[in-house]
Structure 1
């Protein structure tokens, strides 16, 4: 059975985005950590399907397709190719058609749809966000592995993915020169 992996960037005070979805705290200009970038590539390569919440989809699709189409020299090109070429499923209660390469829309019951995806053959499944979608996955105990990229920044307020108590078991922890720490957790 395939696993559902969560990869998420988080502040040290527990937020995955600012109050209005801001992500400007995530990357320090000019400070690219190659080892951490390689970890992101490895996680993507272990999967063949990306799950997305509707609210983050437009920005995600537009960003990665723009890098592939218009920024051939971008250091993100290798990751962008993966993001564009991989199968993507957007979960939405309100939209039935969203444009993007290799993109499908799922309107059915979340737990039923996730279980069906886990039962398919292939590599694992990865989810990057958005916050409300990930929170729903966590609340329904659908995440099999949590990869939390802790950033050395506090923003004071913002969007959280944990709405209830959740006991997790630390599987591994890696510190990167950028000051980010990647903790892999398993359900407790």
Structure 2
């Protein structure tokens, strides 16, 4: 059975939109190692929402190891796309359409994967996965900036969600990696 490991870049005020604000904080080797542990270290599949798949495919498919050490993972790993509006997922190799979000279908998918299932971006999908208790690990890379606007992971009306801190790591650029496990038995878990 697979484990769903979500990785998101966020601000101190919970903004998760297009992370252009990350450019002000140089990516460090330690951050690369932490993300590498989630990707090449444990993931055997990538689960994506439609928008993240559409935006990431063109960005990653033209890269190779010389451009970015993460390129082989993103281009060669099997990608599964959750979308109710797409009828195909051509254009980024190793992509499979799962169809519209359905918690039971995601549970079956998760049961059929041996290893980690990496999710990045895909905020709408992540919210649904959290609501249905399907996230095993939530990895937030919190940037030391507040935007005061934009989409957030936990917005108004989000039910209370207890989580257990698994680890915390700070980087020289001011970013903090917080790894959480949602607590079973709480709403959404």
Asked if residue 141 in structure 1 is aligned to residue 133 in structure 2, the reply is yes
- The match for 1:40 is 35
* 8 Å contact from structure 2 (residues 77, 94) kept in 1: yes
Shift of 1:108: 4.9
> Does the C-alpha gap of structure 1 residues 79 and 138 become closer, same or farther in structure 2, counting only changes over 3 Å?
same
Normalised by the length of structure 1, the TM-score is 0.88
Asked if residue 179 in structure 1 is aligned to residue 174 in structure 2, the reply is yes
Classify the secondary structure of the residue corresponding to 2:142. strand
> Does the C-alpha gap of structure 1 residues 12 and 176 become closer, same or farther in structure 2, counting only changes over 3 Å?
same
- The match for 1:2 is 2
- The match for 1:119 is 111
Structure 2, unmatched stretches of 5+, are 184-189
* CA distance, structure 2, for counterparts of residue 95 and residue 32 of structure 1: 33
TM-superposition CA deviations, 1:80-120 (whole Å, max 9, x none): 11101000001001112022110001115521222112212
* 8 Å contact from structure 2 (residues 9, 19) kept in 1: no
Classify the secondary structure of the residue corresponding to 1:10. strand
- The match for 1:52 is 48
* CA distance, structure 2, for counterparts of residue 127 and residue 42 of structure 1: 13
* CA distance, structure 2, for counterparts of residue 121 and residue 83 of structure 1: 17
Classify the secondary structure of the residue corresponding to 1:183. strand
Shift of 1:39: 1.1
> Does the C-alpha gap of structure 1 residues 32 and 64 become closer, same or farther in structure 2, counting only changes over 3 Å?
same
Classify the secondary structure of the residue corresponding to 2:103. helix
* CA distance, structure 1, for counterparts of residue 101 and residue 27 of structure 2: 39
Shift of 1:32: 2.8
- The match for 1:96 is 87
* 8 Å contact from structure 2 (residues 45, 113) kept in 1: no
Classify the secondary structure of the residue corresponding to 1:112. helix
* CA distance, structure 2, for counterparts of residue 107 and residue 4 of structure 1: 18
User: How many residues in Structure 1 have an aligned counterpart in Structure 2?
Assistant: 178
**Aligned-CA RMSD value:** 1.5
Asked if residue 155 in structure 1 is aligned to residue 147 in structure 2, the reply is yes
Classify the secondary structure of the residue corresponding to 2:174. coil
Structure 1, unmatched stretches of 5+, are none
